[in-house]
Structure 1
Amino acid sequence: MKLHHLPYILRRRDAILKYFIKKGFTLRFTISLLVITAILLTMLTSITSAVQVNRASLISNYLNKNESYAKKLASNTNELLITMQENIRAIAKISEREDVMDIQLFDDLFQENTQYFNSIVVADNNRIIRALSPRTVGISIGDKLTSEQSKMAVDTKKPFISEPYRATTGRLIILVSAPIIDKSGHYKGFVGGTIYLEEKNVLSNMLKEHFFGDGSYVFVVEKSGDLIFHPNQKRIGQSVVQNDVVGKVIQGQSGSQRVTNSEGNRFLAGYAYEPSSSWGIISQTPAEVIDKPLYNLVKRMLLVSLPFLLLILLLGWWIANRIAKPLHTLAQFSDEATLRPVPAENIPDIRSYYYEVRLLSQSVKIALQNMNQDLTHLRNEVKIDELTGLANRRAFDGMMAGWVESNIPFALILIDIDHFKHVNDTYGHVVGDDVLRYLARIMQLMSTEDDLCFRYGGEEFGILVKHCGLGRAKDIADRLREQLAVTKSPTGAAITLSAGIAAFPVHGRSVKQLVKKADEALYQSKKDGRNRTTVSKLTDP
């Protein structure tokens, strides 16, 4: 193979090496990763779907439950208000028959209605109090009622349930009233039952039961959007009309929805309208109560799925191993084969059920056979110095070791260009390389086919002369030196060289000894003034 083929062979060798031994993820790892990823994504998708479905179901369940409960409370409230109005009308009927209400009788009537009212009052058509129970509420018999609600009771002369208002006692109350009509049909006044909203009352007794330990609660608003019942009594009387649910319920609507209340908390709310009083009743549950059952669901799914997941992972790994094993064997062998030639008969016969694997195996065999040939040629070619075309240090060592082992007499001439650093410094390295190639050509012209001209390193060269004594070797060195001294080099002037000579076996019986002797002789030539040849002294007996 010619030297000009070397770049092509090197490129082809590099391409083959990159193709077969480039490191990366193995097929086994990739398939296993894909299987595991697919399984995990499937499980994640299943869990996510289950969580979403259950979240929707829980939300719907709480919304429906709260709506149903709000409607139930609205119905109960309606029945309660009807009962309260009937009781007030019954007291009014009794008052119609009595010109002066018996105090004991009135107290008895109040005791029968303490579960409904915080107090009961009888006022005439001038709103003067004629009867009162209990008598510790802050007003007395003979006092005049001044509230707008008492005026409304006298003006309308009809039963009604008032909006919340502040009484003269400072309490926030609701008035349930009924007119007193005598036998002649004349209006005599009214009977009023009061509900103290900020104290224990009939509403709080009925609605406070809606506590499930999960933060759920009920609140009631009247038609203006003010709270008339709330578990937190400090909030009673506050306006919450900006709450979306409150806005709907005071318009007479009933239903359920997810809502953020006036304090920024998220709830699942059901709401119902109570028409007889125009009140709105809202039952709501904190939205975060669904998080715990969802967490428990995910936990149970993971615990149940774990054994199956492990089983599927093991099965997936086994399948991946079965698929990738022949390819892994082939890749591993190819990796090793790039380091040394392998006979074709030693290439493993890959048996697989997969067509692609069998085809690839055949292709790899052909490629490896071609690569073995290229590597064999490369091992020969790498013994050539690329710059000068002479043998390199590897070829020199191999040739010299072979001759020593075979006990073949030879001479070693080591050559060094004088003042070569000056050449590089003066003319540059490009000219310096031309000088090296120039010396190599002269050496080859003055050598025989049995001689081995080589580049030892840098500006040092050498000649191995087979079956040669010291005299002939010195003649060769001197002729080369003298020829260079009178020939124009690429610098435009002649160059000189110094040489040192040693011979086998007279100067040593090992490669190391011979090189050392020749190098010492070369150093002596330099020391003696350069442009000369020195033969190594014989070893003392």
Structure 2
Amino acid sequence: MKHFRTKGFTLRFTISVLVITAILLTMVISVFSALQVNRSTLINNYLQNNEQYAKKLALTTNELLITMQQNIGAIAKISEREQVIDVQLFDDLFQENTQYFNSVVVADPNLVIRAISPHTTGVEVGDRLNSEQSKMAVELKKPFVSKPYRATTGRLIILVSAPIIDKAGNYKGFVGGTIYLEEKNVLNTMLKEHFFGNGSYVYVVEKTGSLIFHPDRKRIGQSVIENEVVQKVVLGKSGSQRVINSKGNPFYAGYAYEPSTSWGIISQTPTMVIDKPLQLLVKRVLLQSLPFLMLILLMGWWVASRIAKPLHTLAQFSDEATLHPNQVQHIPDIRTSYYEVRLLSQSVKIAFQNMNEDINQLRNEVKIDELTGLANRKAFDAVMGKWIDLQVPFSLILIDIDHFKLVNDTYGHVVGDQVLRYLSQTMQDISREKDVCFRYGGEEFGILVKHVGPRGAEEMAEKLRTELELVNSPAGQPITISSGIASYPEHTHSATDLLLMADKALYQSKTSGRNQTTVSSIK
């Protein structure tokens, strides 16, 4: 026996090593593949979410500025009727606008202050304004929003002005509301709500690339034009990309241009935010695969032993016959050896097939949204692409929960998640088996309605909207949704254009008052 064992590795050992190596390599490749897919999905989600978020903030900022201009215009109308400005009345008007302006001033055509509130700004009635922006307000004689500048008080401010025109049409000066950028103001009050515990934050630049809002107030007024994203947004572009900030830290940034003021709004998330989800994914895959791995390893060892046993018996017989020919009594009975080898080989094949099915199942789970159980964005893209390739008619319903942030702020994220699952279940209840319900991201969802045109999709969307507005959600009251619909091939033959058209229709529903459904216009 010693002579036999010194000739090299046994067949049992070699087959066992090969089986274990194959299983481990397959496992590593599967985990790596799932990791790469999930990494790509997370990156795309953060880029797209930040871009959409920046666009929403740009729209909100535009609406805010319109309101501010309207309020300044209203004060100007009141001032037109007053020969002498009532100080108490003016102070009352300012108090009604303190949520928008840090101070309000009335100046005549010679830039002499006729009224100002509050009275702690550092300037008084009778003082003369000398900033270029004040002179511009007089020269333009129409409403405008200035770029940031240093006032005589040393503050970095933005001026929102409206002209004062008397009944005869004569220009009598202007009313100006100021925003103190380095102090608490309407802009940072609005944007400070948009910070997240994962390190994401929002900042705003004006058209020269200088910061007019940043979580760190010490940086307001600094130029960040060297930032690649800032260079694009001040040129009027919107989009998303990976960027290195001025401190050398990598972020996933989305940016949007606000045309009325030429401001750029950037929402960004540190790239390290995806590390923890990826680590959890690897851990989950390994834990879920461990029982299968152990089972297959044991089976592999058993298969190797069964394959090697008859050959090992023959090898022992040959060795004994060579060393002790006289002592050999009979040839071992191996009549069923080859049948067992074939049977066990088939078992190994089945075992590997089972393992591949398990791995494929793990890969498929990457396409499922973990919170709602619906298809995620990757699965949505795949299904829509396949239907278009096969020329299958369908409609796309994009859905957004109205005022969902208020649900999270009021009831907490646990209830918010329950509301998302409640909407997901309701979508599945009203849709058909051949339709695909998916979570697009955040509080945005959708349904791919197979073999149904715009009218049928609108009926389904309205059924969903009506049911939600009549039944209490987990938040204790009904929720409302806004929907946008586009159909293939009625509206377009392109997946990208179909998504854009549905999103545009959804945006129209939101801007038209929410809680409604809009079907995209046919090109």
Show the counterpart of 1:304: 288
How far apart are 1:130 and its partner, in Å?
A: 0.9
How far apart are 1:90 and its partner, in Å?
A: 1.1
Which string of whole-angstrom CA distances, capped at 9 and with x for unpartnered residues, describes residues 254-310 of structure 1? 122222212111112211111111111111111111111111111111111111110
Q: Among residues 318, 322, 326, which one is paired with 2:302 in the alignment?
A: 318
Show the counterpart of 2:213: 229
Distance 2:336 2:8 in 1: 23
Q: Structure 2 vs 1, CA of residues 146 and 172 (structure 1 numbering), >3 Å: closer, same or farther?
A: same
- Secondary structure in 1 matching 2:130: coil
Q: Among residues 136, 159, 162, which one is paired with 1:152 in the alignment?
A: 136
1:198 paired with 2:182, answer: yes
Aligned positions of 1:38-117 closer than 5 A: 38-117=22-101
1:138 paired with 2:122, answer: yes
Show the counterpart of 2:192: 208
Distance 1:31 1:170 in 2: 82
How far apart are 1:344 and its partner, in Å?
A: 5.5
Distance 1:135 1:28 in 2: 94
Indicate if the aligned counterparts of 2:310 and 2:337 stay in contact, CA closer than 8 A: no
Show the counterpart of 2:269: 285
Distance 1:352 1:27 in 2: 19
Indicate if the aligned counterparts of 2:227 and 2:246 stay in contact, CA closer than 8 A: yes
Distance 2:270 2:336 in 1: 62
Amino acid at match of 1:295: Q
Q: What is the identity percentage for the equivalent residue pairs of Structure 1 and Structure 2?
A: 77
- Secondary structure in 1 matching 2:115: strand
Distance 1:338 1:157 in 2: 115
- Secondary structure in 1 matching 2:193: coil
1:329 paired with 2:296, answer: no
Any gaps of 5 or more consecutive residues in structure 1? 1-16, 358-541
Distance 1:49 1:119 in 2: 58
Indicate if the aligned counterparts of 1:96 and 1:180 stay in contact, CA closer than 8 A: yes
Distance 2:287 2:323 in 1: 51
Q: Structure 2 vs 1, CA of residues 39 and 163 (structure 1 numbering), >3 Å: closer, same or farther?
A: same
Distance 1:88 1:332 in 2: 103
RMSD: 2.5
Which string of whole-angstrom CA distances, capped at 9 and with x for unpartnered residues, describes residues 413-438 of structure 1? xxxxxxxxxxxxxxxxxxxxxxxxxx
Distance 1:57 1:206 in 2: 30
Q: Structure 2 vs 1, CA of residues 342 and 260 (structure 1 numbering), >3 Å: closer, same or farther?
A: farther
How far apart are 1:337 and its partner, in Å?
A: 6.1
Q: Among residues 111, 118, 126, which one is paired with 2:110 in the alignment?
A: 126
Indicate if the aligned counterparts of 2:320 and 2:328 stay in contact, CA closer than 8 A: no
Q: Structure 2 vs 1, CA of residues 343 and 130 (structure 1 numbering), >3 Å: closer, same or farther?
A: same
How far apart are 1:338 and its partner, in Å?
A: 6.2
- Secondary structure in 2 matching 1:269: strand
Equivalent residue pairs, number: 342
How far apart are 1:148 and its partner, in Å?
A: 1.2
Show the counterpart of 1:294: 278
Distance 2:177 2:306 in 1: 88
Distance 1:332 1:200 in 2: 90
Show the counterpart of 2:440: none
Q: Structure 2 vs 1, CA of residues 343 and 86 (structure 1 numbering), >3 Å: closer, same or farther?
A: same
Amino acid at match of 2:269: T
Indicate if the aligned counterparts of 1:120 and 1:192 stay in contact, CA closer than 8 A: yes
Indicate if the aligned counterparts of 1:203 and 1:229 stay in contact, CA closer than 8 A: yes
Amino acid at match of 2:284: R
1:164 paired with 2:148, answer: yes
1:29 paired with 2:26, answer: no
Amino acid at match of 1:294: L
Which string of whole-angstrom CA distances, capped at 9 and with x for unpartnered residues, describes residues 1-41 of structure 1? xxxxxxxxxxxxxxxx9x97653322211111111111111
Amino acid at match of 1:255: G
- Secondary structure in 1 matching 2:194: coil
Aligned positions of 1:488-527 closer than 5 A: none
How far apart are 1:160 and its partner, in Å?
A: 1.0
- Secondary structure in 2 matching 1:206: helix
Q: Structure 2 vs 1, CA of residues 332 and 149 (structure 1 numbering), >3 Å: closer, same or farther?
A: farther
- Secondary structure in 2 matching 1:113: coil
Distance 1:37 1:105 in 2: 85
1:246 paired with 2:252, answer: no
Show the counterpart of 2:245: 261
Q: Structure 2 vs 1, CA of residues 144 and 28 (structure 1 numbering), >3 Å: closer, same or farther?
A: same
Indicate if the aligned counterparts of 2:145 and 2:161 stay in contact, CA closer than 8 A: yes
Structure with larger Rg = 1
How far apart are 1:212 and its partner, in Å?
A: 2.4
Distance 2:221 2:32 in 1: 44
Indicate if the aligned counterparts of 1:20 and 1:334 stay in contact, CA closer than 8 A: no
Show the counterpart of 2:449: none
How far apart are 1:120 and its partner, in Å?
A: 0.6
How far apart are 1:64 and its partner, in Å?
A: 1.9
Distance 1:49 1:21 in 2: 41
How far apart are 1:341 and its partner, in Å?
A: 5.2
- Secondary structure in 1 matching 2:168: coil
